[in-house]
């Protein structure tokens, strides 16, 4: 069930034309794609608003995790095909959207996707930008771009292959067929399945757990895991070690260790 967020403080965040933004619980921002009539198709406006909200959340110490959803019925049906239709080979070169994807890709705090219904094309690429993917049992995933005479343009050939392997990624990219939620779980695209009405609640629950952890350690853990997609093992281990050592300089490391030894709950300050 979608939490009732209407009464929640917004603390400077505002809804856009295409997204709803709320703070349903301490330190957790909830972003809901809100173009249901277009199955949450991602037009430039949607990505612009999403990127702007994530930029605001990056600078906001009060936000420690973000949940991204399309609501109870659809995550996102891909890039807005009407908008794509208007692009030419030259106009697509100066398209603003790669800039917004970069902002989403570089968001340093945990991003959890709560996925119901269709997660297709650019929508699935958006889902795969999340650090943790939770899906409803009726969710369906796909990269149907081939049906339009194009290929994915925001990671659908790269992130999907890393998530589910070559043969499975080829199947989706070359045939345009959809993956059901159970298979997506079995192949490692998502971490957990829930009843569709509980997907957002479960994602918020995970976000709450993360929000209670020391933010700098969380940030560096995310950075280190993502590094494994970009480097060889030796370089990745080196980066991990560097972050590991840096964390020894934080107040939260002192607090975490002291609290364990003193058998009390830690109070993390993000310093």
Catalytically active residues are: 79, 122, 125, 145
User: In a 3-state reduction of DSSP, which class is residue 224?
Assistant: helix
Backbone Cα Rg of the chain: 19
Pick the closer one to ligand CO8 by CB: 77 or 239: 77
* Nearest residue (CB) to ligand CO8, 49 versus 125: 125
The set of residues, in sequence order, having a beta carbon less than 8 Å from that of 19 and lying 6+ positions away, is 31, 32, 33, 34, 46, 49, 50, 53
Smallest distance, ligand CO8 to C-beta of residue 41, A: 3
Q: Cβ closer to ligand CO8: 70 or 121?
A: 121
3-state SS assignment for residue 55: helix
What phi and psi, each to the nearest 5 degrees, are found at residue 78? Answer: 110, -170
User: Which residues 71-130 are close enough to bind ligand CO8 by CB under 6 A?
Assistant: 77-82, 97, 118, 120-122, 125
If one asks whether residue 18 binds ligand CO8 (CB under 6 A), the answer comes out as: no
Given phi > 0 = left and psi -120 to 50 = alpha, else beta, which region is 40?
Answer: left
Scanning 1-9, 108-116, 152-160, 243-251 for contacts with ligand CO8 by CB under 6 A, the matching segment is 152-160
**Count of beta carbons in the 10 Å neighbourhood of residue 201:** 17
Q: Which of 70, 71, 152, 215 binds ligand CO8 (CB under 6 A)?
A: 152
DSSP 178-219: -EEHHHHHHTTS-SEEE-GGGHHHHHHHHHHHHHTS-HHHHH
Single residue of 28, 130, 139, 154 touching ligand CO8 by CB under 6 A: 154
Size of the site for ligand CO8 (CB under 6 A): 22
Exposed / middle / buried, residue 6 (Cβ in 10 Å: 0-12, 13-18, 19+):
exposed
Q: Which is nearer to ligand CO8, 152 or 214 (CB)?
A: 152
How many Å separate Cα 167 from the centre of its chain? 24
Q: How far is the CB of 19 from ligand CO8 (least distance, A)?
A: 14
Q: Which of 144, 196, 215, 256 binds ligand CO8 (CB under 6 A)?
A: 144
Q: Which of residues 164-223 bind ligand CO8 (CB under 6 A)?
A: none
Collapsing DSSP states into helix, strand and coil, what is residue 120?
Answer: strand
Q: What's the min distance (Å) between Cβ of 119 and ligand CO8?
A: 10
Stretch that binds ligand CO8, among 18-26, 37-45, 209-217, 235-243 (CB under 6 A): 37-45
Residues that bind ligand CO8 (CB under 6 A): 38-39, 41-42, 77-82, 97, 118, 120-122, 125, 144-145, 148, 152-154
């Amino acid at each position: 069930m979608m939490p009732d967020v209407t009464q929640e403080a917004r603390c400077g965040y505002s809804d856009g034309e295409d997204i709803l933004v709320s703070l349903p619980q301490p330190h957790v921002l909830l972003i809901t794609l809100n173009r249901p009539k277009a199955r949450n198709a991602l037009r430039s406006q949607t990505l612009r608003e999403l990127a702007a909200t994530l930029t605001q959340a990056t600078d906001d110490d009060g936000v420690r995790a973000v949940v991204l959803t399309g609501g109870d019925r659809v995550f996102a049906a891909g890039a807005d095909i009407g908008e794509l239709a208007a692009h030419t080979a030259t106009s697509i070169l100066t398209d603003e959207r790669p800039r917004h994807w970069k902002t989403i890709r570089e968001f340093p705090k945990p991003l959890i996707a709560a996925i119901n219904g269709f997660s297709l094309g650019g929508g699935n690429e958006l889902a795969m930008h999340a650090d943790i993917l939770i899906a409803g049992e009726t969710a369906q995933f796909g990269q149907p771009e081939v049906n339009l005479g194009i290929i994915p343009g925001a990671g659908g050939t790269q992130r999907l292959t890393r998530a589910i392997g070559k043969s499975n990624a080829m199947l989706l990219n070359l045939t345009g067929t959809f993956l059901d939620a159970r298979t997506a779980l079995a192949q490692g695209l998502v971490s957990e399945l829930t009843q569709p009405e509980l997907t957002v609640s479960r994602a918020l629950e995970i976000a709450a757990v993360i929000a209670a952890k020391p933010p700098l350690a969380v940030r560096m853990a995310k950075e280190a895991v993502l590094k494994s997609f970009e480097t060889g093992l030796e370089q990745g281990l080196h980066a991990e070690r560097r972050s590991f050592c840096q964390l020894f300089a934080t107040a939260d490391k002192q607090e975490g260790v002291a609290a364990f030894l003193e058998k009390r709950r830690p109070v993390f300050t993000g310093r």
